[in-house]
């Protein structure tokens, strides 16, 4: 489909254009952060820190007027934000002023999940927790306590729990997010894509986005680089069942049948190999098993892929030619949230292989080699040695898992195998929304002797806790240093900008006090986190006082492409790019990805797809009044033809009912030509049912509630979640 017929296929609505405008419409500041005035409580102060509305860690300048938080802008010295925040980052002010914040520690009064509490002092809360922890340790061992966390704020609590003897730490960013991608790339190149992704978007001449919905997904640097690439005339190819904002910028839009991307990628590789369009020299030098790979993909022609994907053979060929034309500056983006169908590692590996054919790994406009500063860790005493292996992956049933599998811990908590899990610490992750199948999460919780949740608002997971600890938000605290792997080396600092309004405390303080209660004080030789930061920075030869003023310390630029002198190394077993993987073959998996048809839904059902809104992060921003002012409930995208047939129009309310009879809250219809007729789409994170979240309560519907089924990726334990189907129930 060329540009014109694409436009005929889908009309771009006014809302697409206004939403797309957010791509460029972010404020820029010219202030010199080095000239910050002294720390008086009156007048205007500008304090650098970094954002935590998502995990990108953009450098921020906070404006504080008469001691009150006024506004947030990007720190121009910061390589991640380059002086611009995304709308969520700017709206971070709303998190500080959120009236629904947790205000003091709480202990459960009645049954779990009833959301009835007694407010207690911090000391009482720590006494309760420490006692339960010692009981669990003496009965089952310290390994029977697990911690779930997301983000840098979990570092100190992890330290306390490691000192206690725990070895089970997991984040949803692996098995519910980027895990399959990182494993697929590691199996191929020996290294993963990491975060921030090492994708050289701004220099790419041809950018392929497979369901990676930049512009709705607002990861700042990537969105800025995407705008730059568009301005420089890069050819954009978007593959998505839904005409996303990114699709509105594309030269080629491929409205693929959900779940069939691997067929398309195999067909692209088939064209590129058969027509000798690959980077021959690169593959001769760096490739392993190319001939076997070539034989394996020989049947996957565009004609074969057409009935699977719904994408015409000519369009498959033309897009393959487009990619080959710009190689090696063609970037087939690996995506980020890739836990879709349960075969996600193999799909991600196919994306890695396509990039390898185009010679883009290590090359300008493809994948650069990230660099970072050298900063010593704090010299703590060594941790006690756990006596049991980690609980999430017994007998390495997920042989290629490179991080802990959240759902593996949940499974062990339910079954008691390979050993019982009796305590959970949950830091900054709303497991009820982040893990598929909330019933399983609740069943696991019912087996616990202790559930501690550290959060800033009364999230759903906090509602199930025995003890809830209220944290100061990111603008009110120090955190560990951010020593980032990126295009250029830098260190950034999070520091308090304003005071916490009530009895909230920062994570480092919570972690340290808990360690003291557990008689683990030797693990906290520092008095205050400033001592800790000062120690690490001076050990690396950097100045803490200077960092407080600038927010950023940069290192010298280093070569980041093979051509510019990066030593070429592929830490795979063969030392080369593995077109054919002997380690996969040995473990009983396909050494070259093979296509399998996705399972269809029952007749009359639509596949449930989900994604991001530009102004929200997951389930964490629906109490932020500033962000809710811009988008305060999600909608269900239904193909216009289907909506007409059902007698529905935009603005009507419906409920979604999944294949297992789970019914959602009511949700507004968005009838649109911008989605295929076989699926519907909603923004993740809405439909809160914690009664304590008064403002967000029942606004919109929750994808997580409907995601009852999931398919586990056998290579690494990730949960494919695009495998649920819904019907549309008229609201009464």
Ligand X SMILES: Nc1nc2c(c(=O)[nH]1)N[C@H]1C(S)=C(S)[C@@H](COP(=O)(O)OP(=O)(O)OC[C@H]3O[C@@H](n4cnc5c(=O)[nH]c(N)nc54)[C@H](O)[C@@H]3O)O[C@H]1N2
Quote the least distance from Cβ 210 to ligand SF4, whole Å.
Answer: 21
Q: Out of 1, 19, 51, 356, name the contact with ligand SF4 by CB under 6 A.
A: 51
CB contact at 8 A, 128 and 514: no
Q: Is 54 in the site for ligand SF4 (CB under 6 A)?
A: yes
CA distance 542 to 351: 40
When the beta carbons of 177 and 351 are compared against Mo ion, the nearer one is: 177
Q: What is the DSSP track for 98-154?
A: -TT---S-EEE-SSTTS--EEE--HHHHHHHHHHHHHHHHHHH-GGGEEEEE-SGGG
Quote the least distance from Cβ 495 to ligand SF4, whole Å.
Answer: 16
When the beta carbons of 27 and 381 are compared against ligand SF4, the nearer one is: 27
Contacted by 57, from ligand SF4, Mo ion, ligand X, none: CB < 5 to 8 Å by type: ligand SF4
Quote the least distance from Cβ 580 to ligand X, whole Å.
Answer: 26
Footprint (CB under 6 A) of ligand SF4, residues 216-235: 218-220
Q: What angle do CA 337, 264, 711 make, to 5 degrees?
A: 45
Residues with Cβ within 8 Å of residue 659, at least 6 apart in sequence: 601, 602, 605, 708, 709, 724, 725, 726
Measured in whole angstroms, how far is the alpha carbon of residue 74 from the centre of its chain? 21
Quote the least distance from Cβ 698 to Mo ion, whole Å.
Answer: 25
Q: Out of 46, 88, 676, 684, name the contact with ligand SF4 by CB under 6 A.
A: 88
Q: Is 728 in the site for Mo ion (CB under 5 A)?
A: no
Residues 311-350 vs ligand X: string with x where CB under 6 A?
------------------------xxx--x----------
When the beta carbons of 165 and 259 are compared against ligand X, the nearer one is: 259
Residues 319-338 vs Mo ion: string with x where CB under 5 A?
------------------x-
Q: Is 713 in the site for ligand X (CB under 6 A)?
A: no
Token digits for 347? 């799909």
Contacted by 430, from ligand X, Mo ion, ligand SF4, none: CB < 5 to 8 Å by type: ligand X
Region for residue 499 given its phi and psi (left: phi exceeds 0; alpha: psi -120 to 50; beta: otherwise): beta
Angle between helices 261-274 and 344-357 (to 10 degrees): 20
Footprint (CB under 6 A) of ligand X, residues 429-458: 429-430, 433-434, 454-457
Footprint (CB under 6 A) of ligand X, residues 100-139: none
Closest to 451 in 3D by CA, of 106, 101, 704? 106
Q: Out of 471, 480, 484, 578, name the contact with ligand X by CB under 6 A.
A: 471
Measured from each CB, the residue nearest to ligand X is 211
When the beta carbons of 186 and 347 are compared against ligand X, the nearer one is: 347
Q: Out of 48, 83, 89, 153, name the contact with ligand SF4 by CB under 6 A.
A: 89
Quote the least distance from Cβ 52 to ligand SF4, whole Å.
Answer: 7
Q: Render the burial of 505-536: b for 16+ CB within 10 Å, e for the rest.
A: bbbbbbbbbbbebbebeebbeeeebeebbbbb
Contacted by 168, from ligand SF4, ligand X, Mo ion, none: CB < 5 to 8 Å by type: none
Helices (H) and strands (E) in the chain, counts: 26, 27
User: Total residues at the site for Mo ion (CB under 5 A)?
Assistant: 2
Q: Is 704 in the site for ligand X (CB under 6 A)?
A: yes
Closest to 672 in 3D by CA, of 11, 19, 7? 11
Closest to 344 in 3D by CA, of 729, 727, 718? 718
When the beta carbons of 85 and 462 are compared against ligand SF4, the nearer one is: 85
End-to-end CA distance of the chain: 42
CA distance 466 to 452: 6
Phi, psi of 78 (to 5 degrees): -85, 125
Q: By CB under 6 A, which span of 84-92, 418-426, 501-509, 629-637 interacts with ligand SF4?
A: 84-92
Quote the least distance from Cβ 72 to ligand SF4, whole Å.
Answer: 8
Closest to 454 in 3D by CA, of 518, 511, 385, 494? 511
3-state DSSP assignment of residue 331:
strand
CA distance 214 to 246: 6
Q: Is 49 in the site for ligand SF4 (CB under 6 A)?
A: no
Q: What is the DSSP track for 354-396?
A: HHHHTT-BTSTTSB---B----PPP-PPPPPPPSS--SSSGGG
When the beta carbons of 337 and 676 are compared against Mo ion, the nearer one is: 337
Q: By CB under 6 A, which span of 34-42, 173-181, 295-303, 524-532 interacts with ligand X?
A: 173-181
In DSSP terms, which residues pair with 635 in a beta bridge? 668
CB contact at 8 A, 609 and 731: no
Token digits for 447? 């087996």
Contacted by 220, from ligand X, Mo ion, ligand SF4, none: CB < 5 to 8 Å by type: ligand SF4
Token digits for 512? 């340290």
Q: Out of 6, 45, 46, 57, name the contact with ligand SF4 by CB under 6 A.
A: 57
Instruction: State the pairing for strand pair 168-170/725-730.
Output: unpaired
Q: Is 106 in the site for Mo ion (CB under 5 A)?
A: no
User: Total residues at the site for ligand X (CB under 6 A)?
Assistant: 60
Q: Out of 85, 462, 511, 514, name the contact with ligand SF4 by CB under 6 A.
A: 85
Q: Is 77 in the site for ligand SF4 (CB under 6 A)?
A: no
Q: By CB under 6 A, which span of 126-134, 416-424, 618-626, 648-656 interacts with ligand X?
A: 618-626
Task: Please report where in the chains the tokens 């979240």 appear, as a residue.
Answer: 693
Q: Out of 185, 427, 486, 508, name the contact with ligand X by CB under 6 A.
A: 427
Measured from each CB, the residue nearest to ligand SF4 is 89
Contacted by 248, from ligand SF4, Mo ion, ligand X, none: CB < 5 to 8 Å by type: none
CB contact at 8 A, 705 and 610: no
3-state DSSP assignment of residue 546:
helix
Closest to 104 in 3D by CA, of 574, 557, 635, 500? 500
Q: Is 177 in the site for Mo ion (CB under 5 A)?
A: yes
Quote the least distance from Cβ 113 to ligand X, whole Å.
Answer: 16
CA distance 190 to 432: 34
Contacted by 422, from ligand X, ligand SF4, Mo ion, none: CB < 5 to 8 Å by type: none
Q: By CB under 6 A, which span of 298-306, 407-415, 531-539, 701-709 interacts with ligand X?
A: 701-709
3-state DSSP assignment of residue 679:
strand
Residues of this chain that interact with Mo ion (CB under 5 A) are 177, 337
Residues of this chain that interact with ligand X (CB under 6 A) are 52, 54, 88, 150, 153, 172-173, 176-177, 210-213, 217-219, 239-242, 244, 256, 258-259, 261, 335-337, 340, 427-430, 433-434, 454-457, 459, 471, 473-474, 609-612, 614, 616-620, 681, 684, 703-704, 707, 721-722
Residues of this chain that interact with ligand SF4 (CB under 6 A) are 51, 53-54, 56-58, 85-86, 88-89, 218-220
């Amino acid at each position: 489909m060329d540009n014109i017929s694409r436009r005929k296929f889908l009309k771009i609505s006014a809302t697409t254009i206004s939403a797309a405008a957010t791509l460029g419409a972010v404020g820029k500041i010219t202030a010199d952060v080095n000239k910050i005035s002294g720390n008086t409580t009156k007048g205007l102060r500008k304090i650098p820190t970094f954002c935590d509305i998502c995990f990108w860690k953009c450098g921020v300048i906070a404006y504080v007027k008469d001691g009150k938080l006024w506004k947030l802008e990007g720190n121009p010295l910061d390589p991640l934000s380059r002086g611009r925040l995304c709308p969520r980052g700017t709206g971070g002010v709303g998190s500080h002023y959120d009236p629904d914040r947790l205000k003091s520690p709480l202990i459960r009064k009645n049954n779990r999940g009833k959301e009835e509490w007694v407010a207690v002092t911090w000391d009482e809360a720590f006494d309760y927790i420490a006692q339960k922890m010692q009981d669990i340790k003496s009965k089952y061992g310290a390994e029977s306590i697990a911690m779930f966390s997301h983000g840098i704020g979990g570092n100190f609590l992890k330290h306390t729990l490691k000192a206690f003897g725990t070895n089970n730490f997991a984040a949803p960013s692996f098995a519910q997010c980027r895990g399959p991608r990182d494993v697929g790339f590691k199996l191929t190149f020996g290294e993963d894509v990491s975060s921030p992704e090492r994708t050289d978007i701004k220099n790419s001449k041809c950018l392929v986005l497979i369901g990676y919905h930049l512009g709705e997904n607002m990861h700042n640097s990537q969105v800025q680089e995407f705008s730059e690439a568009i301005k420089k005339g890069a050819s954009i190819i978007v593959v998505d069942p839904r005409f996303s904002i990114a699709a509105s910028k594309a030269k080629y839009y491929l409205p693929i049948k959900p779940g069939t991307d691997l067929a398309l990628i195999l067909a692209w590789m088939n064209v590129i190999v058969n027509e000798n369009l690959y980077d021959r020299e690169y593959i001769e030098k760096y490739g392993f098993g190319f001939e076997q790979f070539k034989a394996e993909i020989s049947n996957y022609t565009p004609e074969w892929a057409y009935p699977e994907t719904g994408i015409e053979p000519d369009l498959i060929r033309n897009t393959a030619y487009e990619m080959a034309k710009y190689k090696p500056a063609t970037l087939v983006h690996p995506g980020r949230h890739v836990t879709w169908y349960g075969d996600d590692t193999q799909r991600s590996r196919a994306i890695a292989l396509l990039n390898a054919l185009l010679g883009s790994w290590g090359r300008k406009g493809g994948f650069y080699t990230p660099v970072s500063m050298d900063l010593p860790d704090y010299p703590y005493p060594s941790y006690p040695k756990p006596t049991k292996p980690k609980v999430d992956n017994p007998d390495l049933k997920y042989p290629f898992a490179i991080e802990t599998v959240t759902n593996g811990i949940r499974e062990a908590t339910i079954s008691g195998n390979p050993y019982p899990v009796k305590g959970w610490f949950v830091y900054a992750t709303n497991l009820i929304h982040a893990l598929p199948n909330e019933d399983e999460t609740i069943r696991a919780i019912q087996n616990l002797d202790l559930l501690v949740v550290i959060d800033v608002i009364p999230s759903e997971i906090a509602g199930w806790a025995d003890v809830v600890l209220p944290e100061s938000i990111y603008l009110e605290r120090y955190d560990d240093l951010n020593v980032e792997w990126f295009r250029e080396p830098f260190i950034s600092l999070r520091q308090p900008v304003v005071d916490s309004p009530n009895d909230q405390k920062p994570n480092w303080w919570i972690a340290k006090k808990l360690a003291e209660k557990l008689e683990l004080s030797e693990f906290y030789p520092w008095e205050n986190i400033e001592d800790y930061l000062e120690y690490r920075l001076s050990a690396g030869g950097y100045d803490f006082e200077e960092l407080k003023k600038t927010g950023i310390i940069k290192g010298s630029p280093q070569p980041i492409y093979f051509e510019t002198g990066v030593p070429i190394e592929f830490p795979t077993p063969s030392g080369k790019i593995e077109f054919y993987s002997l380690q996969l073959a040995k473990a009983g998996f396909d050494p070259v990805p093979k296509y399998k048809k996705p399972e269809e839904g029952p007749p009359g059902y639509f596949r449930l797809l989900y994604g991001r809104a530009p102004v929200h992060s997951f389930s964490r921003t629906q109490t932020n009044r500033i962000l809710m002012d811009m988008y305060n409930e999600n909608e269900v995208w239904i193909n216009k033809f289907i909506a007409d047939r059902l007698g529905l129009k935009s603005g009507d309310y419906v409920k979604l009912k999944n294949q297992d009879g789970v019914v959602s809250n009511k949700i507004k219809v968005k009838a649109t030509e911008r989605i295929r007729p076989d699926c519907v789409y909603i923004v993740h994170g809405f439909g809160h049912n914690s009664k304590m979240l008064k403002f967000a309560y029942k606004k919109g519907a929750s994808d997580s509630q409907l995601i009852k089924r999931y398919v586990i990726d056998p290579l690494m334990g990730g949960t494919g979640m695009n495998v649920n189907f819904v019907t549309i129930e008229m609201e009464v």
